[in-house]
Amino acid sequence: MHQAGPHTPEIVPVHPFGRIPALRDGDLTLFETGSIVRYVEESLPGPALLPDNIRDRARVEAWVSAISSYCYVPMIRNYVLQYIFPKRANGRPDRGMIDAAARQIPGLLARLESAYGERNWQVGNACTMADLFIAPILAYVEMFPEGKQALDDCLNVRCAFHPRTAAIACAVRSTLSVFRPATQMRPDRIR
């Protein structure tokens, strides 16, 4: 694994659009997260990231596609990257663009909140590609104030991604008996 930025001499020969991630394995070069993840899944040993039953596999593909199509642009391109790589001439983040993206984030997280429900995984009872597609996006979103606030409001998503803090949140929630009784607290979520 090498760190390389977009449009750099390492990346340009591997990715026709100069973006990251890109992969080189022997004489194979690949671009786009989806193709890279599937190649890694099929070529390396380790836990399967696609369920073996066809229905759950289709559900995983639906989430992977939805995350790429609906979450990536507002959460990463229009929000995170505006903070990290401000494109304005004065080198400062574009507040208007960030604010517009930040307004979209709670609605998007609400969809994930429903998908997770009380489970740690979007589909079935194991980690799949769908969880791995959203994890880095959320990790970046959380680094900035509006994103962190939006995530704080989504307990199910938090439970899935931050089991330790979730333990406290679950305890509070069960004490209040708002969503589920204490017997349904999720010790398996506490790492």
List interacting residues with ligand GSH (CB under 6 A): 6, 19-21, 32-33, 68, 76
Question: Minimum CB separation from ligand GSH for residue 1, in Å?
Answer: 15
Instruction: Find residue 22's DSSP bridge partners.
Output: 31
**Alpha carbons 50 and 37: distance in angstroms, whole number:** 11
Query: Which residue, 41 or 118, has its beta carbon nearer to ligand GSH?
Result: 41
Question: Minimum CB separation from ligand GSH for residue 101, in Å?
Answer: 14
Quote the crossing angle between the two packed helices 129-141 and 54-66, to the nearest 10°: 30
| Phi, then psi, of 123 in degrees rounded to 5 | -130, 130
Question: Minimum CB separation from ligand GSH for residue 112, in Å?
Answer: 18
Report the residue closest to ligand GSH, judged by CB.
19
Assign residue 58 a region (left: φ > 0; alpha: ψ between -120 and 50; beta: otherwise).
alpha
Question: Minimum CB separation from ligand GSH for residue 141, in Å?
Answer: 12
Query: Which residue, 6 or 163, has its beta carbon nearer to ligand GSH?
Result: 6
